[in-house]
Each structure stands twice: as structure tokens, then as C-alpha cells.
Structure 1
Amino acid sequence: MLSYAEASDKVIIALDCSRERAFELADMLAGKATWVKVGMTLFYAEGPAIVEAMRERGLRVFLDLKVHDIPFQVQGAVRSAAMTGADIISIHGLGSSAMVSAARKGAEEAAEKTGRARCRLVAISVLTSMDQDALAEIGVTSPIAEEVARLASLSYGAGADGIVCSPQEAAQMRGLLGPDALIVTPGVRPAGSAVGDQKRIATPAAAIQAGSSKLVVGRPITAADDPVTAFDAICEELMA
């Protein structure tokens, strides 16, 4: 059975919102939440300072930028992103093993320069908003689970610390990558929550039982009438 602190450490609150709302939520959940996700919406508006601001509030940061470019650009981008103090950074698994290796090198360079622990890298496999039809639309005819496994093996072998996948692939990824892999799963929806634009979802407890390391939860917490109560409910589900 998990303690509250252990359960909290498994939940990453997605701050896909304005700066003002992000700070409001961070202050509201102070002393309870451990992790927040800073994605493109917030980072593009506020820049690296938003990561430092969250860290000053005692929060760890998953910087979800889905970096995807030629290896040279990715190495520099990850190095710069890691210098902000982010704890986890996402890259795209579609960029090839050379791109993933370059990302790892950039993260190592930042760690050497700052003296901090190297930020961990997770590779995006298939977005949780996509189903089989959406995958076919972009020319990928293999089953989703097969495509996720292919990108996970490629990325993990090239230096990523783990994978971003839906809860539906978490068990497969845990078996494929082993006990040390960081498996981050968006598409987590507590029972009774609105699905929104997510297609491949699971409840928090089911995702953890399947092998997820971290759960990314956004609107079920951030859009709740009482975000603290919503966060507590998720932690309590994980502790049960």
C-alpha cells in the first residue's frame, strides 16, 4: 500500500493554462503535489522562467516540449531546456536513434555545466489523442501497440530513460523495457471524469497497476471545482 507521499509522487499535474492559473494551482496544491507538467502552451508564453518559478515552489517539473528536429538542433534544445532545472523532458521517438542519442548528450552537457543530476528523457510514442484511424491517416498501418513498442525499443536503446504512452500500453512497455524504465502515461481519467480529446485512457489505479511510473493528469484536477479535493481523491485511489 502506498503512502500519501508515494502516491503524490506518481501524479504529474498538467498545467496547460495561463501563467496566472498555473501559479494559482501551484500555490493551492503546495505541500501536497510533487510534480507539475509545463507543456508548450505555458512554456511558449512564459519561457524558461516558468520552470524556475515552479521549482521555487518546491515542485518538480516535467517539461513536455516533445522536442523533434535534426540531431544537432535537438542536442542544443535539450541542453538549453535542461538548464532550466527541468527534471524530465520529452522528446519524440520518431526522430531516429541518432536524434535520441543527441538529446541524451545535450542532457549530459547541461548536467555537467550545472552540477545538477541529469534530467531524464522520455520519448513520445503515439499520442494518446490518436486511435488506429488517426494513425492510418498519417500512413502508419501497424497496430498501435506494435508502433508504440517499436518506438519504445528504438528510443530506450538510444539513451532515453523511458517512454510516454497511453495506459493501455503500459503493461506491454513495462515488460519490454524492464523495471527501471520511466513510463509516463497521459490519458488518465478518474472514474466519472469527462474523456475530452483523449482516446486511449484508464483510471489512475489501473494505470499504475499496469506498470506506469508517472500519471499525467490535467483537466480532472485543474478544471475541478476544488482542485485540492480532486488531487486528494486520486492519491487516495492509489493508496487503496
Structure 2
Amino acid sequence: MSENVIIALDVATHQEVSSLLTKIDRKQLYVKVGMELYYQEGPELIKALKNQGHDIFLDLKLHDIPTTVYKAMKGLAKLDVDMVNVHAAGGQKMMRAALEGLDEGTPSGKTRPLCIAVTQLTSTDQALLENDILIHQPLEQVILTYGRKTFEAGLDGVVCSPLEAGKVKEYISKDFLAVTPGIRLKGDDSNDQKRVTTPKQARMLGSDYIVVGRSVTQAPEPSAAYSRVLEEWRNDHE
């Protein structure tokens, strides 16, 4: 296990995945497969990654009527992934349906995937929240309220930025998982994510898992960059 450091495979093809994993050069990783990759390569890629020994966060952010999410999760549970997610904005009935589908679809003798909910994307700031989504509440309060609804629905945790991780735990439960994208090594470009931290800062703020993308996958030496991320994460943990 790579100490809850999840590498985002934000590429489009199985061939690109293989090339990237070769550059990182680790026998086992925790990887995130998102929409771009899954919609093009599908379940066969998931099976291949599992056969190689990797743990998988299948990041599809389901958001639909409860029946549709229930059926989708029932199917995804058969893939033996380790983590899946929904949008908290879909409501508690939808989130409970997601858990029901996962429970029913998980093969006998297996543990169901962790199920977490997206509160707000790390590309969202207060202006976007108000002007585009038409939610006129402070961003932090929206995240905490969505987190509470997620906890009450029985899910395992939320996706949030590291900046909200500790606040989520304080408001909801210390055992409620905070899975945090928006991780950058010092000096890296934040790109389209607006609420970002370093791995060390994320750990100090209360993150249980961090999701790292460009800082590793687009580094000149991905293996060295991954080692640097792990070192920051471990040093604060020890």
C-alpha cells in the first residue's frame, strides 16, 4: 500500500497508462481512474490494473436519480475497485441508493468499496458558486453542510480540498474520511485548481488520502517526484 497517496491517471488510453506506470516504477500504487480514461478504456483497464496489484479509486462522480445510481453502483462493485464516489448534490436518497447498490453488487467474501461524495470541486471558488451554481452561501459552509448530509447517508467520507479537511472532521467526525485532490509540490503550477496545498500541508490539515496528478505525472522524472510526495507525506506522519 502506498500510504494513501493516490496517483491520478489523467490520460486517455491504456497505452499511456502503461507508459506512465513504467516511469513511476513502483510494483504497487494506489491510482485514480477518472472519466476520461474509464469512458474510453472501460472495465478491461480496471481488470488489468487490479491484476498488476494496484489499488483503484474509480472517480466517476455519479449524479443521477437514485435508481440509476443504485444500478450503476451495483455493476461497478463487481469490478473489485477500492473506492468510488458520487456528487453530494444528488441528495441523501441518491447517496443511500449508491451504498445499497455497492452492498448488493460486491461479491461474497469481498469488502465493498469505500464510497465518498464530492462536496465541491477544487476548481470552485466563491464567485463561481454564486454566479454559476446560484448558491449564495459561504463556500466553506456549503462544503460542511454537504459533508454532514453525506455522513448521515452512511457514506465513508468526502472529497474536499485539503483546506477543508480538518474542518470537515471537526464538524462531522474525526473518523469521517477526507480525500483531498488539489495537491501540488512546492513550485508547481496550480493549473485549474484553486484550493491547493503541498502533501505535507494536506497531512497537517487532516487529509486521510491525497490525490496527486500533474506534480507526478507531468514531472520530468515521475519516479523522483512520486518519492518526494511520499517523503513529505511520511515525514509529517512519523
Return the TM-score normalized by structure 1: 0.93
**CA distance change for structure 1 residues 31 and 127 in 2, over 3 Å: closer, same or farther?**
same
Counterpart of 2:147? Answer: 152
**Aligned partners of 2:172, 2:226: CA distance in 1, in Å?**
29
Deviation string 1:16-64 (CA, Å, 9 cap, x unpaired) is 1022111222244353653000000000001111111111111100000
CA contact (8 A) 1:83 1:114 kept: no
2:227 to 197, 211, 232: 232
2:113 to 105, 116, 119: 119
Code of the aligned partner of 1:122: I
CA contact (8 A) 1:14 1:217 kept: yes
Gaps of 5+ in 2: none
% of aligned pairs identical? Answer: 38
Code of the aligned partner of 1:15: L
Counterpart of 1:93? Answer: 88
**Aligned partners of 1:114, 1:227: CA distance in 2, in Å?**
38
2:59 pairs with 1:71: no
Shift of 1:176: 2.2
Within 5 Å, which residues of 2 pair with 1:19-168? 19-31=14-26, 33-111=28-106, 113-137=107-131, 138-168=133-163
**Aligned partners of 2:145, 2:28: CA distance in 1, in Å?**
33
Gaps of 5+ in 1: none
Within 5 Å, which residues of 2 pair with 1:147-226? 147-226=142-221
Stretch deviating more after TM superposition (187-196 or 22-31): 22-31
Stretch deviating more after TM superposition (113-122 or 151-160): 113-122
Runs of 4+ in 1 over 4 A off after TM superposition: none
Deviation string 1:119-175 (CA, Å, 9 cap, x unpaired) is 110100010011101101210111111000010000111021100001110110121
Deviation string 1:174-199 (CA, Å, 9 cap, x unpaired) is 21232322210011111111111000
Return the TM-score normalized by structure 2: 0.94
RMSD of aligned Cα (Å): 1.3
CA contact (8 A) 2:28 2:53 kept: no
